[in-house]
Amino acid sequence: MHYQIGQSKFPPKKLMMSWLKAVLPDCRINNFTSDWNSGVNLSALLDYCKPGLVPDWKTLNPRNSVENCKNAMEIAKAEFQIPMVLDPEILASPYLDDLSGMTYLSYFMKEGGPGYKTTLKWVQKQLPDRNIKNFTTDWNDGRHLTTLVKQLGGPVPGYRTIDSHTANWESNIQLGLDGGRKLGVVPVLSASDMARPDVESLANMGYIAYYQWIRPRECPADTVAVHCSLDNVASTTRMFNAIMDLYVSFKIEFLTKEVVLSELEVEVIGPSGPVRVDLDISPRGGKGLFIPDQVGLYELKVLNEGEVVEGCPVKVRALPDVSKIMFSGIDPCALGSIVEVVINSNGAGGGAINVTAYSPTNRPLLCPVKEEDGVYAATFQPDEAGQWSIAVRYDDEHIQGSPFTCHVYDPHALRVLELDNGPSSLPGKPFTVVVDASRCGWGEAKVDVTEGGRSLQSEVLEVDRGFYEVTFIPRRLPSTRFMPTSMVMK
């Protein structure tokens, strides 16, 4: 009697049992002896190998054990050339031993056997573009497993960036095993064993066969959506601009009823690391908010079962709140903007209102004045950065508070010196650049250094009027971008 299962450090009995349980979930198989005496389970196995071959196996009378075993063994020989290495009477006998039962059943699951072919055909149908030919080397890199799990709705974080390099095989397989657990499939082997080129075919086949009965579900990433759109959050194509120290809120929408709250993770990473997030979530969805407390980039991620959900990551750039910085006179404005000066005559009649704006170089600019119901409005468009003086005269006399001061700034005049070729220092070493804001007008430069879509911590020191030294530590080269984000008047 020749034993058909190849050598393995895993007990063949365990591997065979794993596959039989996987392909015959309705039969509750626990051994290679008494569970096969009636011939019913063997008939079920034939029907698995070729659906419709024994369609009435569930209605067979277990008491007709010898007859059932004989019919099933004869069909197996005729359809699949499986030799009758033992008599039907022995298979039906309560004295059937493990080795005899295992030897006969091994013909179904050996490489090229009918059970092997059926399981292989199923997985080939699930992944038609993968050209799967075996249950050994084709599964070493983890790509087929992660794709199968993903296709059935299991979580596979980072699926789109999976690398098939040899060094990543074990971690790729572990992603698939973890996702399979979420679907209810318990691993037979460890990730390191499955990554071995000499992995036992039956071990992988027994594990993969369990996926045949998994009901496909939506991927975790597709069951939740995040929306971020508020008055204090202005959206561009891929970036949101928010005001520092004002809350940013977002909505978490559940697209199905199958979302498990304990599987949700919400994180916000700011320039200095994780940021506190306040959440209010119920089984129907929820909302959250965080407060950016410094200038720079913030990244919001919501994960379901480890997968980044629809609408994420959300990138928010926090900018200074210019409105909080007050001056006597007219509010600061940007170069080229239109400034309006409104004067209420308070019933004083007869005289003429005259408004003149003086540039930082004392160049006069006469401002046209319009009057309506005793209220005068004058406009001018500054074309120089710096301190302007607005003289408002009534009958050639300055009104109270005139001349008024207006600070004009030009953020586009910011220059980063000696950065034509990017940072030249090694990653992990401090690097210093100089920001020239001397032509920007009165104000202070706010600097944000980003790398890989995230803000880096930086120190800014004003070394001269309008000149700043900015020191930061690049993590890698040459991807660091240096972005003066805005000019804030103080």
The string of DSSP letters for 199-217 reads --HHHHHHHHGGGGGPPP-
- Region for 173 from its dihedrals, namely left if φ exceeds 0, alpha if ψ lies in -120 to 50, beta otherwise: alpha
Task: Set out the domains of the chain in order of their start, with CATH numbers.
Answer: 12-110 (1.10.418.10), 116-217 (1.10.418.10), 221-319 (2.60.40.10), 325-408 (2.60.40.10), 411-488 (2.60.40.10)
Asked whether 62 and 40 are in contact (CB, 8 A), the reply is yes
Asked whether 141 and 164 are in contact (CB, 8 A), the reply is yes
Element (H, E) at 66: helix 65-80
Buried b (16+ CB within 10 A) or exposed e, 401-432: ebbbebbbbbbebbeeeeeeeebeeeeeeebe
Asked whether 389 and 407 are in contact (CB, 8 A), the reply is no
pTM over 0.85: no
User: What does the pLDDT read at residue 268?
Assistant: 95
Instruction: Say how many C-beta atoms besides its own lie within 10 A of residue 285's C-beta.
Output: 15
Measured between alpha carbons, how far is 65 from 261 in angstroms, rounded to an integer? 51
User: What does the pLDDT read at residue 168?
Assistant: 95
Measured between alpha carbons, how far is 473 from 149 in angstroms, rounded to an integer? 40
Buried b (16+ CB within 10 A) or exposed e, 108-142: bbbeebbbbebbbeebeebeeeeebeebbebbbbb
Measured between alpha carbons, how far is 423 from 166 in angstroms, rounded to an integer? 33
Tell me the one-letter amino acid at 296. Answer: G
Element (H, E) at 380: strand 375-380
Dig out the tokens for 320 from the structure: 């200074």
Q: In which residue ranges of the chain is pLDDT below 50?
A: 1-8, 234-237, 323-328, 347-350, 485-490
| CA nearest to 483, candidates 460, 455, 462 | 455
| 311 Cβ neighbours under 8 A, 6+ residues apart | 225, 226, 227, 228, 302
Measured between alpha carbons, how far is 45 from 47 in angstroms, rounded to an integer? 5
SS3 193: helix
User: What does the pLDDT read at residue 405?
Assistant: 85
User: What does the pLDDT read at residue 344?
Assistant: 67
| CA nearest to 100, candidates 69, 71, 78 | 69
User: What does the pLDDT read at residue 9?
Assistant: 62
User: What does the pLDDT read at residue 98?
Assistant: 94
Tell me the one-letter amino acid at 412. Answer: H
Strands (E), 229-263: 233-235, 240-243, 248-254
Going by their DSSP bridges, the two strands 248-254 and 285-290 should be labelled as antiparallel
User: What does the pLDDT read at residue 463?
Assistant: 84
The one-character DSSP state at 363 is -
Dig out the tokens for 287 from the structure: 């909302």
Asked whether 39 and 67 are in contact (CB, 8 A), the reply is yes
Question: Nearest-5° angle of CA 99, CA 104, CA 110?
Answer: 105
pLDDT tens, residue by residue, 341-359: 877 655 444 457 788 999 9
Measured between alpha carbons, how far is 291 from 248 in angstroms, rounded to an integer? 6
Where does residue 68 rank: exposed (0-12), middle (13-18), buried (19+ CB within 10 A)? Answer: buried
